[in-house]
């Protein structure tokens, strides 16, 4: 077994579109969940596969409860579950699919070199980058829907603060401009989120693939079993980390309470908030 290259290997091409072994793994994962969803729908509608349906319900309920621990309320947990839960299951299935017997050793020969038929989709940086972009873009989409454009955009570029500062003199304008410049750093931090999600997942999974290739090349039979178990654990951990970070981004982007507190602080700092008068006896 040879050490896999960093880039996913092309198996076939459709026109100019390459079909890589990582892409084939991703399609297998999607097909698996489409079939599972179809069986669940049939089971619920026709009353068949009762144990399978109950198991699926238990999994969804567990994912919902874990999601609610992050969001703090059930309403947002229900809204975010398709994104975070879907990413968790997709990454987990892809990671574990790469540990099946034959993965890495069954493939097509080309120029005297074996190209594995399957490779974990998360060991391809293109796949993890797409997941990361989707997670961050979703957080902004939900933030816009929950807070509106002005409120959400003011978290990054505080244009509204400059407009308010005009009524409070030069010093307030200067402070508002500094805050505006700092806001552009927040935009850079959003790009850093994408890179962090992408490279963390890719690096850990790809490093595991390299480790397994080295171990299987040196030993056989029982020796690689502990390393396979370790890779199963790493696959679950990485799926959990990605899902939890996605949930945290979605929660922060839609947190109205935090936004309202920031608004009160700004108003008090600018002298716009009127302090409550003590009640007269």
pLDDT digit string (tens) for 13-31?
888 888 888 888 899 899 9
pLDDT tens, N- to C-terminus, the chain (281 residues)? 567 777 788 888 888 888 888 888 899 899 999 999 999 999 999 988 899 999 999 999 999 999 999 988 899 999 999 999 999 999 999 888 877 776 666 767 777 777 777 788 898 899 999 999 999 999 999 999 988 887 887 777 776 666 666 666 676 667 777 777 777 777 888 889 999 999 999 998 888 888 877 787 777 677 777 888 888 898 899 999 999 999 999 999 888 755 455 555 445 544 544 444 454 44
Task: Report the distance separating Cα 60 and Cα 63, nearest Å.
Answer: 5
Is there a contact between 70 and 247 (Cβ–Cβ < 8 Å)?
yes
Interior/surface letters 155-169, b for 16+ CB within 10 angstroms, e for the rest:
bbbbeebbebbeeee
């Amino acid at each position: 077994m040879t050490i896999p290259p960093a880039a996913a290997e092309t198996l076939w091409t459709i026109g100019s579109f390459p079909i890589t072994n990582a892409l084939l793994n991703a399609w297998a994962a999607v097909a698996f969940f489409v079939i599972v969803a179809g069986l669940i729908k049939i089971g619920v509608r026709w009353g068949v596969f009762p144990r399978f349906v109950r198991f699926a319900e238990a999994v969804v309920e567990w994912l919902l409860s874990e999601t609610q621990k992050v969001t703090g309320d059930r309403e947002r947990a229900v809204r975010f579950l398709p994104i975070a839960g879907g990413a968790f299951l997709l990454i987990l299935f892809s990671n574990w699919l790469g540990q099946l017997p034959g993965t890495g050793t069954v493939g097509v020969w080309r120029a005297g070199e074996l190209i594995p038929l399957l490779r974990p989709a998360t060991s391809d940086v293109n796949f993890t980058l797409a997941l990361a972009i989707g997670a961050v873009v979703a957080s902004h989409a939900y933030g816009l829907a929950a807070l509106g454009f002005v409120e959400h955009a003011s978290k990054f570029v505080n244009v509204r603060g400059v407009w308010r500062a005009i009524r409070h003199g030069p010093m307030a304008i200067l402070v508002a401009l500094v805050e505006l410049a700092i806001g552009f750093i927040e935009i850079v931090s959003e790009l850093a989120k994408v890179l962090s999600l992408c490279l963390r997942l890719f690096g850990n999974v790809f490093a595991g693939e390299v480790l397994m290739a080295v171990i299987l090349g040196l030993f056989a039979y029982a020796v690689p079993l502990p390393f396979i178990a370790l890779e199963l654990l790493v696959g679950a951990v990485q799926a959990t980390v990605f899902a939890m970070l996605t949930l945290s981004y979605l929660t922060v982007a839609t947190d109205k309470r935090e936004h309202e507190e920031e608004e009160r602080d700004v108003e008090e700092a600018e002298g716009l908030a009127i302090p409550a008068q003590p009640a007269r006896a």
